[in-house]
Structures are given as C-alpha cells and as structure tokens.
C-alpha cells in the first residue's frame, strides 16, 4: 500500500494541564478529500493546529508524517515549506490590503521565481479574485473573503491544504459555492483535509472521514460507510431528528382529524 500523504499516529496534545487530543491516529491519502467531523470542542481545530505546528511544544506524544517524513517538532515555516497549506477558521484576510496584496503576502515563503505562475494558477482557480484584484479585502463579501483566504494558502502550492470550517457563517447559497470551490481545488491536484460542522455537505464531497469526540476518533470510514452509520446519522446528520419531526407532524395532523 502506498504511504499516506499525511499520517498522525497516537497524537496527544495538551493545553497546559488540559488534554485536548487523546491519541489521535488519522491517515490522509494523496489526491483525495478527507474530512474530520465532530461537535464543538471535540478537538478538530486542535488537530489542524497541531499538524501546522502553531502550538508551542506540541504534540506532547505521537508522530506526524508528511509523505513518510516526520514533521512534528518543526517550525511552522518549515511545515509550510514542506507542502502544507492551512486556512484557519474565520476568513483571516488582511482587510486593509487589496486582494492582490493578500495573495502576494501568501507567497512570501517562496524564494523561487514561480510566484507569477502560482498567482495565475490561483486566479485561474478563483476567477472572482481576478475581478476583485485591486479591491480592499475588507470590502469583499463573506464568501469572497473565504475564497481569498484559500487562495492565499494556495500561493505556496501546497500538496496538502487543511481547512477549518470554511462554510461557517455563509448563507446556504454561498455554502454550496464554497463546497464546489473545495472540489475544484482538489481536482487541480491538491489533497484536502477538511474540518467541518456541516457533516452532510462534507460527506458529499469527501471520500473518507473521521468522527472525533472528546479528543478521540470514535468512528471512521468511507463517506458511504459514515452516511450509513446510525450514530453519525443521528448525531451529525440529524436524520433521526427529521424522522421525529415528521412523526410529530403526522401525529398533529391525525389529532386534527379526530
């Protein structure tokens, strides 16, 4: 079997005396979209922050490998340079800079001369950013800001792009566009690790998923397997609740007939 692009083994992360990750093992296969689902506080963001090396002296235990090479313990800059892009939660763009300047900032780690090619590649992926290139980022809509945040992370031409809740706070129409954009990035050859609360949408585009609760993996499988899993259906897809609502409405109608 081929080596996964990203592999976490028994990863433990602590915030002081609070243990947030309790031995997480996850594989992200090259070329696909892998999703991490779970409720608030489950540890999803902590997984991404641990991989990106932004938490001091973490992970406390375990190993993180990119294409078979250990990356835990490296500085964030080295992790980015090794091929990991990260779009943290909350559309973090520089509001006072133009769209173009935001993209150039994203490329600051590149010391080679390919920046122009990368810029073309990003603008080709998100044509809206070309249209808005001289506009201040702070004046973009929420969905456009999120695309800019993704575009900025793509400027380092990562092999793996990690995204934390890219659909958060967007209208249903923009959520659909955002998921299309993620598929588009993946089709251009970037492997995706997607953290989402919107389990339904995430499982529609992902090939494999992990469910995290209280810092542990409690379920994993192909998207089809997770969509068929009773607990996932009840707690993350809300399907049982839909059934309950439907039952309650039928009961109310029946009551009126009597």
Residues near ligand ATP, by CB under 6 A: 15, 18, 20, 38, 40-46
Paired tokens of 7 = 């592999």
Nearer to ligand ATP, 10 or 114 (CB): 10
Q: Considering the complex, what minimum distance in angstroms separates the CB of residue 194 from ligand ATP?
A: 13
Nearer to ligand ATP, 1 or 18 (CB): 18
| SS3 state at 210 | strand
Q: Considering the complex, what minimum distance in angstroms separates the CB of residue 142 from ligand ATP?
A: 18
Q: Considering the complex, what minimum distance in angstroms separates the CB of residue 121 from ligand ATP?
A: 30
* Sign of CA pseudo-dihedral 59, 37, 197, 93: positive
Paired tokens of 42 = 């489950």
How far does the chain reach from its first CA to its final CA, in angstroms? 64
Nearer to ligand ATP, 15 or 108 (CB): 15
Q: Considering the complex, what minimum distance in angstroms separates the CB of residue 46 from ligand ATP?
A: 3
Q: Considering the complex, what minimum distance in angstroms separates the CB of residue 253 from ligand ATP?
A: 37
User: Which string of DSSP letters, residue by residue, matches 90-143?
Assistant: S----TTSBHHHHHHHHTTT--SSTHHHHHHHHHHH-HHHHHTTTSBGGGS-HH
Place of tokens 């409720």: 39
Nearer to ligand ATP, 40 or 134 (CB): 40
Paired tokens of 75 = 């500085």
Nearer to ligand ATP, 45 or 133 (CB): 45
207 close to 34: Cβ distance less than 8 angstroms: yes
Nearer to ligand ATP, 55 or 239 (CB): 55
Paired tokens of 54 = 């932004």
Q: Considering the complex, what minimum distance in angstroms separates the CB of residue 22 from ligand ATP?
A: 10
Rg (CA), the chain: 20
What residues form DSSP beta bridges with 220?
210
Q: Is the peptide bond before 108 cis (omega within 30 degrees of 0)?
A: no
Q: Considering the complex, what minimum distance in angstroms separates the CB of residue 163 from ligand ATP?
A: 12
Phi, psi of 216 (to 5 degrees): -130, 155
Nearer to ligand ATP, 35 or 46 (CB): 46
């Amino acid at each position: 079997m081929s080596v996964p692009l990203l592999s976490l083994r028994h990863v433990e992360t602590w915030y002081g005396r609070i243990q947030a990750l309790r031995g997480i093992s996850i594989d992200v296969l090259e070329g696909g979209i892998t999703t991490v689902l779970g409720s608030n506080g489950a540890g999803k963001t902590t997984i991404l922050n641990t991989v990106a090396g932004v938490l001091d002296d973490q992970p406390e235990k375990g190993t993180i490998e990119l294409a078979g090479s250990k990356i835990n313990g490296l500085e964030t800059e080295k992790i980015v340079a090794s091929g990991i892009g990260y779009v943290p939660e909350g559309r973090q763009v520089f509001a006072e800079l133009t769209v173009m300047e935001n993209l150039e900032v994203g490329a600051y780690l590149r010391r080679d001369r390919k920046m122009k090619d990368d810029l073309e590649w990003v603008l080709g992926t998100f044509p809206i950013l070309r249209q808005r290139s001289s506009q201040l980022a702070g004046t973009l809509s929420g969905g456009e800001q999120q695309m800019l945040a993704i575009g900025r992370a793509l400027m380092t031409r990562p092999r793996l792009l990690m995204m934390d809740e890219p659909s958060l706070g967007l209208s249903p129409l923009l959520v659909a566009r955002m998921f299309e954009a993620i598929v588009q990035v993946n089709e251009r050859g970037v492997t995706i690790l997607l953290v989402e609360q919107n389990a339904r949408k995430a499982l529609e585009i992902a090939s494999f998923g992990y469910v995290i609760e209280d810092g542990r993996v409690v379920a994993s499988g192909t998207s089809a397997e997770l969509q068929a899993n009773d607990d996932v259906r009840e707690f993350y897809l809300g399907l049982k609740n839909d059934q309950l609502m439907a039952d309650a409405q039928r009961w109310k109608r029946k009551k009126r007939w009597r």
